[in-house]
């Protein structure tokens, strides 16, 4: 169980099935006393979390802080999660491939938030936990509440947003294909559900970020591209419908994040033209992205937020790949 369990003050906790606020103060002194959180100490904390059924409110914060410190900061360069530590964390918190503790789920997301960079497997694993909870109706939720199979509530959307924000560290500004795959799976499996409106907003922004950003152009940082401001709430009284509202004032709000600010000063003219050319190239959906999107939507009737996504692409992309033409024609 590691050297922490061997200390006399901690040994008593393993048998009393309870952790109090006073115990957490003692644990902080034991764990952080030398300034280093070791793997043995992290493993001991996992053991305490598993055996103690009655834990005080202070335990969650301490447990997440201490184990995150080991995973993120104890190997050089500090702030970068190694593949080894990512694999260790996934093995440690997995039960048949799933996380079954709110404490461990919070730990997983917090590691992603604190780290400057982490392996894509860690972000993908976190997203899969939410997808499983939404589709199957079981699994841990940090905020509690009841899960309804086939529906996505605001709590799950915000958890997805936290994970997507968190993985936007070094070199991970655009949404990855692996992330987009999970989001599309959730969208397909919840299409008939009573979903929170925030899901439509996040889905369209995330998938648009993926399909409209290409090599050679730096997309907006994730917290700008996926911000909570809902463009679906900006209704134009002259045009009705879900996707029509999206492409009124809301479209300009999205695309503003993908363009460099204009400047009329003469010395900025050439720079602005170059930025505009890069932006236009980035807005063009290339063959690979077009094929990916067409395959995921297929020939079935469009879901509401897929209409919004295709309408955005139709209005914002200067070139539409032939693979997308049949789908674009449905919303033209």
| 221 in any annotated domain | yes
pLDDT confidence band for 267 (50 / 70 / 90): very low
| 233 in any annotated domain | yes
Among 144-148, 207-211, 316-320, name the most confident range. Answer: 207-211
What secondary structure letter does DSSP report for 297? Answer: H
Cα separation, 81 vs 93, in Å, equals 16
The answer to whether 117 touches 80, Cβ cutoff 8 Å, is: yes
The answer to whether 71 touches 39, Cβ cutoff 8 Å, is: no
Q: What is the mean pLDDT of residues 113-137?
A: 88
Q: How far is CA 45 from the centre of its chain?
A: 26
* Per-residue pLDDT tens over the stretch 38-74: 888 898 899 888 888 899 999 999 999 999 999 999 8
Q: What percent of the chain has pLDDT above 90?
A: 24
Residues contacting residue 3 through CB under 8 Å, at least 6 positions apart: 38, 40, 41, 44
For residue 46, report the phi and psi dihedrals to the nearest 5 degrees.
Answer: -60, -40
Q: What is the mean pLDDT of residues 5-14?
A: 64
Residue with tokens 């909570």: 228
Q: How much is the pLDDT for 97?
A: 79
Q: How much is the pLDDT for 238?
A: 32
Q: Is 60 exceeded by the pLDDT of residue 307?
A: yes
Query: Count of CB atoms within 10 A of residue 285's CB?
Result: 24
Q: How much is the pLDDT for 231?
A: 46
What is the model's pTM?
0.74
* Per-residue pLDDT tens over the stretch 145-194: 567 888 898 888 989 998 988 875 555 667 888 889 999 999 999 998 88
Strand residues in the chain grouped as ranges (E)? 18-19, 54-55
Instruction: Classify residue 63 as exposed, middle or buried by CB count within 10 Å of its CB (0-12, 13-18, 19+).
Output: buried
Count up the domains in the chain and report the number: 1
Q: What percent of the chain has pLDDT above 70?
A: 70
Question: Sign (positive/negative) of CA torsion 138, 55, 89, 161?
Answer: positive
* Per-residue pLDDT tens over the stretch 64-110: 999 999 999 987 788 889 899 999 999 999 887 788 788 898 999 99
Cα distances from 291 to residues 184, 201, 323, in angstroms, run: 14, 23, 6
Structural domain of 265 = 196-332
Cα separation, 253 vs 198, in Å, equals 16
The answer to whether 272 touches 257, Cβ cutoff 8 Å, is: no
In whole numbers, what is the pLDDT of the chain averaged over residues? 77
| 169 in any annotated domain | no
| 316 in any annotated domain | yes
Least confident of 82-86, 225-229, 314-318: 225-229
| 2 in any annotated domain | no
The answer to whether 166 touches 112, Cβ cutoff 8 Å, is: yes
Residue with tokens 């795959």: 181
| 208 in any annotated domain | yes
| 287 in any annotated domain | yes
| 84 in any annotated domain | no
Q: How much is the pLDDT for 284?
A: 57
Cα separation, 295 vs 138, in Å, equals 29
């Amino acid at each position: 169980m590691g050297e922490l369990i061997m200390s006399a003050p901690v040994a008593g906790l393993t048998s009393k099935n309870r952790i109090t606020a006073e115990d957490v103060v003692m644990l902080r002194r034991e764990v952080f006393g030398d300034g280093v959180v070791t793997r043995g100490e992290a493993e001991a904390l996992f053991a305490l979390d598993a055996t103690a059924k009655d834990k005080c409110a202070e335990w969650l914060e301490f447990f997440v802080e201490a184990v995150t410190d080991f995973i993120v900061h104890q190997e050089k360069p500090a702030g970068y999660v190694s593949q080894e530590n990512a694999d260790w964390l996934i093995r440690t918190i997995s039960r048949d491939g799933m996380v079954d503790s709110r404490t461990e789920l919070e730990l997983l997301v917090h590691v992603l938030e604190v780290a400057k960079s982490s392996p894509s497997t860690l972000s993908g694993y976190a997203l899969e936990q939410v997808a499983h909870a939404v589709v199957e109706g079981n699994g841990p939720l940090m905020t509690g509440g009841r899960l309804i199979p086939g529906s996505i509530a605001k709590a799950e959307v915000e958890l997805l947003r936290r994970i997507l924000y968190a993985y936007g560290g070094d070199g991970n500004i655009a949404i990855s294909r692996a992330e987009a795959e999970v989001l599309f799976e959730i969208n397909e499996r919840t299409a008939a559900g009573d979903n929170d409106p925030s899901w439509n907003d996040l889905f369209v922004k995330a998938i648009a970020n993926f399909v409209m950003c290409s090599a050679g152009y730096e997309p907006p940082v994730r917290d700008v591209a996926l911000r909570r401001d809902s463009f679906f709430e900006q209704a134009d009284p002259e045009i009705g419908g879900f996707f029509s509202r999206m492409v009124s004032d809301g479209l300009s709000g999205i695309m503003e994040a993908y363009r460099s600010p204009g400047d009329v000063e003469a010395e900025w003219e050439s720079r602005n033209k170059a930025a505009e050319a890069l932006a236009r190239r980035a807005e063009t959906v290339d063959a690979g992205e077009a094929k990916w999107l067409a395959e995921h939507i297929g020939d079935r009737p469009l879901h509401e937020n897929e209409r919004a996504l295709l309408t955005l692409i139709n209005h914002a992309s200067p070139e539409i790949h032939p693979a997308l033409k049949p789908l674009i024609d449905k919303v033209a």
